[in-house]
Structure 1
Amino acid sequence: MSDRYQISDSSSIISPGLVVFEELVDENIQKMIDIAGSVERLRPHCKTHKMSEVARKQLAAGITKHKAATFAEAEMLADAGAEDIFLAYNLVGPNIERAVKFVKTYPTVTFSVTADHERPLAQLSEAFSKAGLSIDVLLDVDTGLHRTGLEAGTEAEALYKQIADSPGIQAGGLHLYDGQNHQTDLTERTAAVKACWDPAIAMKKKLVAAGYDVPRIVAGGTGSFPIFAQFNDPALELSPGTCVFNDSGYSNMFPDMKFTPAAVMLTRVISRPTADRLTLDLGTKGAASDPPAGKRLFFPELPDSEHVLQNEEHLVLQTNKAKNYQPGDELIAIPTHICPTSALHKSAYVVRDGEVVAQWNVIARDRCLTI
């Protein structure tokens, strides 16, 4: 087992167990700050960890601005002490009234959301005007992912002006998420990120020239974060997420990013059905199954093992090292995708200096806490 993942006594860990190595989290937070250049430029996404303790670590490091994707995540951040929270999601239906309730519940928090269509924007404006409150709204800009947002241009500019002119709403800037940029080659990724940035910054300049305030540009995900960090616009806020825990997927995809997987799975052998097979208790209910079957986990001790079968509660590995393991033996597995993996667990075991010292609840894995 890697020296980074030593646990002196793992008998308290019920497997499959999510295990967070606290020193590695601290290292990853510091690397994030180093890449950004200062804490003021950071607005990290909490979707990966969903834990108050990690949010408090970022706050203690001086990171004051935070990003979320659900109201539960936003509430977790607010309860942890964050006072500037960006819910990077277009609000529709009951979420519009939830936004009003959130602002009433946390009056000291600067709260912002996104929009990309006039209808929910008008509903949001009406709800906040009626409540006598105000909310910041960022225009969601489509950089090529084609998931949400408007392409930078005339239609997007018109909607931004509507945001600025709507009662109960303040124009909060632009949101650029480029989740389509997974180029492993750094030169190719840099060019792709610049192609997302240039139209948005040109639009910003036009809006400012027309008299509209664009106070922030929240940009990037983990893979593009170091590239956006090279841009010097004072409105830019960098929003990496995965790197606080990291995973094997991003480690392989972005080898230029030297973050260490800090959240792993402890799993145990429950059967050795054949001479070259091990069955583990790490099924699809324990680790994210959005990566293709056979590529959902990496085992540092069995790097060449073939993942031949995974069901809800079982993972079968084929390996010529099977003879070295007995039922009850333990393995560390690094998830390919940690963000949905953490959401599968009620809590994580925390290891510091090789000892299990705490459990951190994955509070924001739910869709609703109190709001």
Structure 2
Amino acid sequence: MDACYQIEDTSQIISPGMIIFKDLVEENLKQMIALVGNPDRLRPHCKTHKMREVIELELSLGIKKHKAATFAEAEMLAETGVKDICLAYNLVGPNIARAIEFRKRWPDVSLQVTADHPTPIEQLGTAMTEAGLEIEVLLDLNTGQNRTGIVPGDAAVELYQLIANTPGLIPAGLHVYDGQNHQVDFHEREVAVKEVWHHVSKLRDQLLLEGLKVPRIVAGATGSFPIFASIDDPAIEVCPGTCVFHDVGYGELFPDLKFKPAAMVLTRVISRPGPDRVTFDLGYKAIASDPAMEGRCRFPDLPDAKPVLQNEEHLVVLSERAGEFQPGDELLAIPRHVCPTSALHKSVTVVSGGKVVGQWNVAARDRFITV
């Protein structure tokens, strides 16, 4: 295990327990800034960590604009002092009323939301007008992932025009998430991202010709943000997310990004059910279970471990070194997918300089706090 992951005393850490290595988080944040050249170009996504203390670190480094996926995350950002928040989620149902409540509670916060369909746009505009408020709306574009958004083209121009013409709404720009661009080869990923940008920039030019303002283009994800940042366009705000903690999955997908895993889960052996098996207290209540079984986590100090069974409280692995372990022995595991892993923990143990220095609450792990 790398020396930066040493912990002097783990005796009081309840397992399974998420560990945040603060020094590495700070290194990752500085690397994010170095990749874009200016913190003003960053709008990092808080969904990976959901922690006020990480936002405070980002603010201290000059990162003022932030992105969220839920109102709980947006509320956490506002309470931590963020004044520019992109809630990258199309509002429907009760979330329209929550947007009104948010605007009333934090009138000094610039809140942008996303939309890709005329009905919610009209409903949001009506609600805002009745409340005597306005809200900024980004047009959500479908860049090829086919999850949300509208494909750039004439219909997108018409929808953006609808936003501009709807009382209570302010056209705020474009939302360009390209989560499908996870090509391992950097050149292939760069070509794919530049193709996305070609269609987005063409749409932006169409909107400008129509006399519409496009103040920002909120673009990219962890794997593509350095490529978007290399494009010389002042409207682009790039949106890394996972790299603040990094994980096994993104380490394999994006070998060109030199971030270090800053979040691990401390686990203990609870059984030795066979000569080649070790059972850890690392069930799917403690580490994300959306990746394939054999790749849900990696043990740096047990590299041949192959997960073969996971239940709510147990993870069984096969290893030729199984005989070396006894109940109570500890290991650190790197999640393959750290974002949902964070949401499984109410709080995390923070380590700096090899010592436990405190606890951070995962403040926005739920979808509702007060708004």
- What TM-score range do you get, normalising by the shorter chain? over 0.9
TM-score (norm 1): 0.99
- Matching residue's letter, 1:147: R
Aligned counterpart, 1:39: 39
**Equivalent pair of 2:22/2:262 in contact (CA under 8 Å):** yes
Aligned counterpart, 2:361: 361
2: CA distance, partners of 1:225 / 1:11: 40
1: CA distance, partners of 2:273 / 2:145: 44
What do residues 73-129 of structure 1 show as CA deviations (whole Å, max 9, x unaligned)?
000000011000000000000000100000100011000100000000001000111
Matched, 1:254 2:254: yes
Matched, 1:295 2:295: yes
- Which consecutive residues of structure 1, in runs of 5 or more, have no partner in the other structure? none
**Equivalent pair of 2:43/2:66 in contact (CA under 8 Å):** yes
SS of equivalent to 2:195: helix
2: CA distance, partners of 1:333 / 1:300: 7
Aligned counterpart, 2:48: 48
What do residues 286-344 of structure 1 show as CA deviations (whole Å, max 9, x unaligned)?
10011011110011011111212111111111111112221111001000000000000
- Which consecutive residues of structure 2, in runs of 5 or more, have no partner in the other structure? none
- Matching residue's letter, 2:112: S
What do residues 209-252 of structure 1 show as CA deviations (whole Å, max 9, x unaligned)?
22110000000010111111111111000001000001010001
2: CA distance, partners of 1:101 / 1:158: 29
2: CA distance, partners of 1:12 / 1:135: 47
Single out whichever of 171-180 and 321-330 deviates more from structure 2. Answer: 321-330
Matched, 1:179 2:179: yes
**Equivalent pair of 2:181/2:192 in contact (CA under 8 Å):** yes
2: CA distance, partners of 1:322 / 1:265: 19
* 1:130-209 equivalences in 2 (<5 Å): 130-209=130-209
* 1:178-327 equivalences in 2 (<5 Å): 178-327=178-327
Aligned counterpart, 1:80: 80
Give the C-alpha shift of residue 35 in structure 1: 0.6
Single out whichever of 306-315 and 211-220 deviates more from structure 2. Answer: 306-315
1: CA distance, partners of 2:139 / 2:25: 32
Give the C-alpha shift of residue 274 in structure 1: 1.8
1: CA distance, partners of 2:164 / 2:37: 31
SS of equivalent to 2:112: strand
1: CA distance, partners of 2:365 / 2:202: 37
Aligned counterpart, 1:9: 9
SS of equivalent to 2:232: coil
**Equivalent pair of 2:304/2:320 in contact (CA under 8 Å):** no
2: CA distance, partners of 1:60 / 1:124: 34
What do residues 147-182 of structure 1 show as CA deviations (whole Å, max 9, x unaligned)?
000000000000001111111110000000001111
2: CA distance, partners of 1:206 / 1:308: 53
Single out whichever of 255-264 and 317-326 deviates more from structure 2. Answer: 317-326
CA RMSD of aligned residues (A): 0.7
Percent sequence identity is 60
- Matching residue's letter, 1:363: A
Give the C-alpha shift of residue 2 in structure 1: 2.4
2: CA distance, partners of 1:310 / 1:132: 52
Aligned counterpart, 1:340: 340
- Matching residue's letter, 2:191: A
1: CA distance, partners of 2:114 / 2:307: 40
Give the C-alpha shift of residue 58 in structure 1: 0.4
Single out whichever of 347-356 and 314-323 deviates more from structure 2. Answer: 314-323
2: CA distance, partners of 1:157 / 1:10: 57
2: CA distance, partners of 1:209 / 1:273: 69
1: CA distance, partners of 2:318 / 2:116: 48
1: CA distance, partners of 2:256 / 2:303: 21
Aligned counterpart, 2:103: 103
SS of equivalent to 1:14: coil
- How many residues align structurally? 371
Aligned counterpart, 2:119: 119
1: CA distance, partners of 2:245 / 2:222: 11
